[in-house]
Amino acid sequence: MKTNSGNRWLVVLGTIIVQMGLGTIYTWSLFNQPLVDRFGWNLSSVAITFSITSFALAFATLFAGKLQDKWGLRRLILCAGVVLGAGLMLSSQVTSLSLLYILAGIVVGFADGTAYITSLSNLIKWFPEKKGLISGISVGAYGTGSLIFKYINGSLIQSVGVSQAFLYWGMIVLIMIVGGSFLVREAAVVNKPSVQNGVVQRDYTVKEMLRTKQAYLLFVMFFTACMSGLYLIGVVKDIGVRMAGLDVAT
């Protein structure tokens, strides 16, 4: 990896662009009320879409590694970007909740999770001596995408309506993820076992992971600590407007 140290910062740049595109799904709460106003659906029924997206995202991480081994990282991220963008663009044509759940929920979530976990883990492999810093940069880019697109998607909803906003959102995200994928290079696989704090480190398969008690303890930790935040993100704009009396921009 040291011989490619000059190139690995391009991998960082590409991963940041990819992660920013992926993180835009956390602007979902902006779409809840406009969808309710357009189609007359129940607000809680619309908000469930983001829960489905989150579940599909998490589910995808179990299979992303296998897909990466089969297709290669760059092709996998590129395909995930196309699928995610297409899912959002097709969501502009939905007229039923079931289609919204499938496209904006399952399709978008699975594509997002596939690209998220593989691009993050690959970047960490490029910087084994700076795992914490690199993880922070990648996850920070993921969050920054939602911050920036709060303004972009909010403006699109106001100017072209909620359905067309899905179309333009999908197009922008597709370009970002596919474009970023061309800067991403797969890190070399190092099979030599490493020792950390006196313990030999090794990779686990999914089946091996599911046989450890640590996996289930982590599941409980993430489910209780992280899911509460995710559920809040999905309806945060509606809480602010309806319960706190804030205007949409605030």
88-117 mean pLDDT: 97
Taking each helix axis from N to C end, the angle separating 162-181 and 8-22, rounded to the nearest 10 degrees, works out to 170
Of 9, 39, 56, nearest in space to 230 by CA: 56
Reduced to 3 states (helix: H, G, I; strand: E, B; else coil), residue 194 is strand
Contact 137, 16 (CB under 8 A): yes
Looking at 33-37, 56-60, 108-112, 226-230, which range is the least confident one?
A: 226-230
Give the domains, in start order, of the chain with CATH numbers: 2-243 (1.20.1250.20)
Q: Which two tokens stand for residue 31?
A: 């779409």
Q: Is the pLDDT of residue 223 over 60?
A: yes
What's residue 197's pLDDT? 65
Work out the average pLDDT over 91-108.
97
Question: Mean pLDDT across the chain, nearest whole number?
Answer: 90
Cβ atoms of 33 and 161 closer than 8 Å: no
Question: Residue 209 above 60 pLDDT?
Answer: yes
Tell me which of 245 and 228 has the higher pLDDT.
245
Report the C-alpha gap between 112 and 21 in whole angstroms: 9
